Structure 1
């Protein structure tokens, strides 16, 4: 019986060692949290500065613990496009807007539409208003879905930048600002560079009014609107602080990211006025890999009508990279001897946890060896819905981020080695106990028939 008890104890110790629970001490960074609102589920928007302290690009090393060190069940919501989207491109009619001069804020016009909302005509309120073409009104009354993008084409004789304000209306009387738009047609090094598309805020409107700022409007030859319907909106983008880079050679710069990141946009600092730079951006996950092309485009900062016209952003596909390289066609003047500062944008990440135990709760991260422990949102919240998600309690960072010193941060790795040694010792002990039991049974004399 003694040997049997020893074997059972060995197996119990083996299982306990194999499934030892993680503790906050296993992670290099601890962040105190404060909760408010209705529980027991709480959602936390992870600050980018905190995310950058993770040791795994997919945030597999993120955990939440109670005051007693008990791990909490949690889920991550960080997908950039958790939505089904249907896009449609439609040609729309355009109507001219005239004004007395290019400094008049809004042309005085009379607009007429049918009972269904289709625009019939726009005529100047006074004869003098026909002197200068100031803009255009687009008829989007046939489009019922939210407007995502505007695409314009204009007379090829008119080159340069076209900058205009965008306003939306449903009744031709009340107009809502939708920001500014900018398109361009440039000749550069025997090549033509054209930019036709302008992003819209994703709202519905019957009419759009485009008014050129401080200049006459060009003659349009085409106007298209892209509309889209989607089941949900993506998480917003979160921008980093400026990141210093390194000049590799003339017209070539590189940046090392704090960790592997799913970057979706880049912003390059254009400090010098009258900068024009066709660029190609590449990335890779580590220095052993070959560079992979990610994006290309035209960056510029040019003076026009007394103000700077700036295009300093590049879209990216959102794949994980740790290094970036920018190659510049220096026929446009380049970006200077020093590498420009770089800012990157990633999708905001929300963490939802089911509170169990007593507060205060602690967010822990910074362990390169642990496995992912997050659940799907639909598992964590059985009756999950987008509406339910908005009603969850809130969690926020409530104090200083605690970072272990190098010696302490290395302790989990050393601890992991001792756990392995202990696990092997328990395993050998169990095998020895089983061997002893087998030997005892073999020596036991067989009963006579």
Structure 2
């Protein structure tokens, strides 16, 4: 092959590959540059407000992707923040003695205070009987792995003290679940060099309250709150730092119509935003009560609740939390006429996309497409793997977007043109050819001389 031909084919291949890399951008309405600090293993970026005007609610944000500098998509998906993180703890907690009850008399009453603390009210005057039951308040639900008891007093002259204990768990001090039916603990006396055996291993135990009962033996733990047990396990710590901040958008009614004795106020939103709260501010009316609903066209589609504001509310506003969902239009109905239209603010939390920085930076967020979709990347699995490699409590690095850049605009959302129907054309061509063939045959027959015998005059 000649060198100039090889060069031409190479150039053609480069052009074709560049066109393929840039093809996704041609199918999207809007692009936003992503500002991110280099070097992070994953990034999370919130969708800007105007991106919602290009995405269709029925597509559930599948028409939002992240691309690198060459236009190729990088792994991305909707971000689901961790609600909590599990961390190991070791707690040293008091053993609360439950007074023994005398035969025939009511036993002690065990209750919880308003903050959940254990309150033990004896049922009779405590006698000299040994305590057989102890309670432990972990203050928070703990997934217990082991519990270590204090040593007990060994009888004079004995080398060791053996005791068997059972352990139960509860969340309310009423219903108990058995964890250990019988475990042996050992306290050494003056003989031998062996150490005490006071740790009991536990599996599958999660709860706040633990009950220890002496099955056999007699422990001499302190009964005035000095005795302590050591609990080891893991607790779930709620994460609030990873939650998105609610934003507020003030909207004005686009029209008002009489409805019975009241008035309907319709609000057209700038985009189908994921609204989760409504806030109403009182105008010059002493009191206002409105019923909120979402609109689909001219019809009510979902009742959202009632908002009431009065002059005695201090800041003159009230907030109604509603199920999160994308809504394009709302209606407030007041059963009584209002002096001023309701002043409505919409609370919404931007959706966030998490992406892995493959390819070449800088990255862009593309939004709005009828044809293109984001693949089902295994993002959840990727984040789970990263969390195992990173320090406890790790989360993707925050990124932001710059001003939007128009790409295909409305053309990316428009339905594709119907393919040209060649059937009619082919049919007319065939009919025309048929007419020409028949006409040619007729002309040929008319021009052909007669072949029969001629008669003499």
**TM-score (ref. length: structure 1):** 0.48
**TM-score (ref. length: structure 2):** 0.47
